[in-house]
Amino acid sequence: MSDDVKTSDRPALMHLFWWFMFAQGGVLAAILIPVHVLVQGILGPLGIVPVVDQHLDTWYSILGNPLVKLYIVVLIAFPFFHFAHRLRYLLVDLGVKGAKSVPAQVIFYGGAVLITLLAIVLVLTTAPLSF
């Protein structure tokens, strides 16, 4: 099994972009997600600690903060580019040939773009800006 691979002496800017998003997404997912899952997914629902999203007033209020809006976009956008790359290559590693195709790239990375856009729309429309 062999493929033709073309190499170029031009800087691979798109490669740089995707690897940047992958690496930053991995770091941000590692640093930010576990505490959200622990507090909002386990401790809050069990009633062990009070959490902002357990009451509409506090949740709505904090969602109006511009820093929180920016934080949520970062929390969603970067990790989803990381997830898209890892899941596509998981399929490649498991022998799914179609995972290397252009349509698969469009689905995975396009999905990350769509979810990023969805997050931006949601944080902009859920609660008005408040300081």
- Give the footprint of another protein on this chain (CB under 8 A): 1-10, 26-27, 29-42, 44-47, 49-63, 72, 75-76, 79-80, 82-83, 86-87, 89-90, 93-95, 115, 118-119, 122-123, 125-127
CA distance 130 to 113: 27
Cβ atoms of residues 39 and 46 within 8 Å: no
Structure tokens at 121: 């729309």
In the complex, the smallest distance separating the C-beta of residue 130 from another protein, rounded to whole angstroms, is 12
In the complex, the smallest distance separating the C-beta of residue 17 from another protein, rounded to whole angstroms, is 18
Nearer to another protein (CB atom), residue 47 or residue 129: 47
In the complex, the smallest distance separating the C-beta of residue 71 from another protein, rounded to whole angstroms, is 9
In the complex, the smallest distance separating the C-beta of residue 125 from another protein, rounded to whole angstroms, is 7
CA distance 15 to 19: 6
